[in-house]
Structure 1
Amino acid sequence: MKFLLPLFMLTTIISCTKFGKTDTAKGRVLNPVTGEGVSGVELKLLKSTAGLPGGNKAVKTATTDGDGFYEISKAGLKGYSLSCNLPAEYYPVGWFIDGELKNTNTGNVGLKKGKTLHADFYAVPYGNLQININNTSCFDTNDELKIYRSHSIPSFYDNVPNPAIYNGCVNQTGNMNKAPMGWYKYNGTVTKNGIVTPKRDSIYLNKDETKVWNINY
């Protein structure tokens, strides 16, 4: 009997070394504007492959269910990362982990060995929006429209100038562009002939909806 314990311990060590610990990720892909899950989205567990183009190889995939939930697990000696392959008709907000938005793109998130990662991915479907800016009663070139813009997605305007400032006799027709659904709002001021007046407005864009928003001042 005294030889059985070392043999058992050796078998256990070999088994753990060969297969490693199980990494698990679970969560939901959802639209934060409505709270609805996004079904049919593919998620991948990736392992680093420094010698291959792209540096990562998919080792397992999962697809979100009808309510947007997913779970994916795999044992291994090296750590994995998780990616979300979002359909083109969705605007990628980013990974939401531990009550915090971790990134604002489709970047990968790392898993800890032998741990379960609870990670949601926020994605918002597109509509189509054209924004026109018109100074309908221009006084002179010193006229100014200054507006602070916001969206239902708090980070949406992070990478553009905010406030937006328009000087002079503006008559600007925008392009019809893809835009994530939700509330578009602005709050600011109009200055004409030295007189400053407040200016605010909002518009709601639905999924697959097409709208023209005229901002006249």
Structure 2
Amino acid sequence: MKLLLLLSAILLLISCGKERHIHLTAKNAVTGAPYPGLNYYVVEEKEGNNGTDYTTVATGTLDGNGEKIVPVKIRKNRSYVIRLDPPPNWCYMNEVSYSYTIHGEKSPTFDFTFAECATLQRKVKNTNCFDSNDKIEIYIDNSVHSLLSTPWILNGCADYTTVPTKVPVGNYTLHWIVTKNNVSTDYYDSFNLTENEMKVYEIDY
């Protein structure tokens, strides 16, 4: 009888799991300002014979500092996904944010970062075309490094306008290389985009 009670107590402790305190933060990726009041969810995943079962084990909102320490019972053979509702008008979230999977780590911290949207349109025109061998290579980066690292290349007597595109706010840096008559020249520029701003950026070369 004592052995049965002991086994039952052990099984109960295993099923209850160990309590972990998950630390959540949400900040603006450009300014570092917190995002208070965002909703969070901790979802337990269990693999079964009929697929994966999902159970929400904790939910709530971040405090005025955009933070929350969430006590969660981490159970054996379970995975836990942390989700956070993004702020309105967002165009960027860091690659590891929005959902995480943990497997019982001790008191993990999850930092969510977001950036709001602006609108950018680009116009590139070869206003003094030499011949079909003319080339422009355009490199562009921003504060959250969400853009491709490969250059945008236009050949010949180019005249190209992009469609207006939603992009993250922040600082943008540009480097373009113009090649005409086998001579290459480098140019540099930068600009800043604020939330809901519409900017048309033109390069005439």
TM-score interval, smaller chain: 0.7 to 0.9
Q: Distance in 1 between matches of 2:84 and 2:38?
A: 7
How far the C-alpha of 1:37 sits from its partner, in A, is 0.9
Q: Aligned pair in 2 of structure 1 residues 117, 76: CA closer, same or farther (>3 Å)?
A: closer
Equivalent position of 1:61 in the other structure:
59
- For the Cα contact (< 8 Å) 2:139–2:149, is it kept in 1? no
The unaligned stretches of length 5 or more in structure 1 are: 95-102
| TM superposition shift of 1:71 | 2.1
CA distance in 1, matches of 2:153, 2:192: 22
Q: Distance in 1 between matches of 2:52 and 2:14?
A: 28
Does 2:106 align with 1:115? yes
Give the counterpart of 2:192 among 181, 191, 204.
204
TM-score scaled by length of structure 1: 0.80
Distance 1:16 1:188 in 2: 63
Unaligned runs of 5+ in 2: none
Q: Secondary structure at the residue paired with 2:14?
A: helix
Contact 1:62/1:71 (<8 A) preserved:
no
Query: For residues 19 and 67 of structure 1, what CA distance do their matches in structure 2 show?
Result: 31
Contact 1:24 1:114 (C-alpha < 8 Å) held by counterparts: no
Shift of 1:195: 1.7
TM-score scaled to structure 2, two decimals?
Answer: 0.84
Paired position in structure 2 for 1:194: 182
Of 109-118 and 184-193, more deviation after overlay is shown by 109-118
In structure 1, how many angstroms separate the alpha carbons of the residues matched to 2:36 and 2:70?
A: 15
CA drift at 1:198: 0.9
Question: Residues 35 and 87 of structure 2 are in contact (CA less than 8 Å); yes or no, is this contact kept in structure 1?
Answer: no
Matches within 5 A, 1:104-183: 106=98, 108-113=99-104, 115-154=106-145, 156-157=146-147, 160=148, 162-183=150-171
Alignment of 1:91-102 (within 5 A): 91-94=91-94
* Whole-angstrom CA distance in 2 between matches of 1:31 and 1:18: 38
Partner of 2:13: 16
CA contact (8 A) 1:40 1:68 kept: yes
- Distance across 2 between alignment mates of 1:209 and 1:67: 27
| Count of aligned positions | 202
Q: Which stretch shifts more, 145-154 or 10-19?
A: 10-19
| Cα distance in 2 for residues equivalent to 1:91 and 1:50 | 33
Shift in CA distance, 54/19, structure 1 to aligned 2, threshold 3 Å: closer
Q: Distance in 1 between matches of 2:121 and 2:53?
A: 39
Q: Judge conservation of contact 2:22–2:72 (CA < 8 Å) in 1.
A: no
Match in the other structure for 2:85: 85
Return 145-154 or 49-58, whichever deviates more. Answer: 49-58
Displacement after TM superposition at 1:167 (Å): 0.8
Identity of aligned residues (%): 28
Comparing 52-61 and 187-196, the one that deviates more: 52-61
Instruction: Tell me how far 1:161 sits from its aligned partner.
Output: 5.9
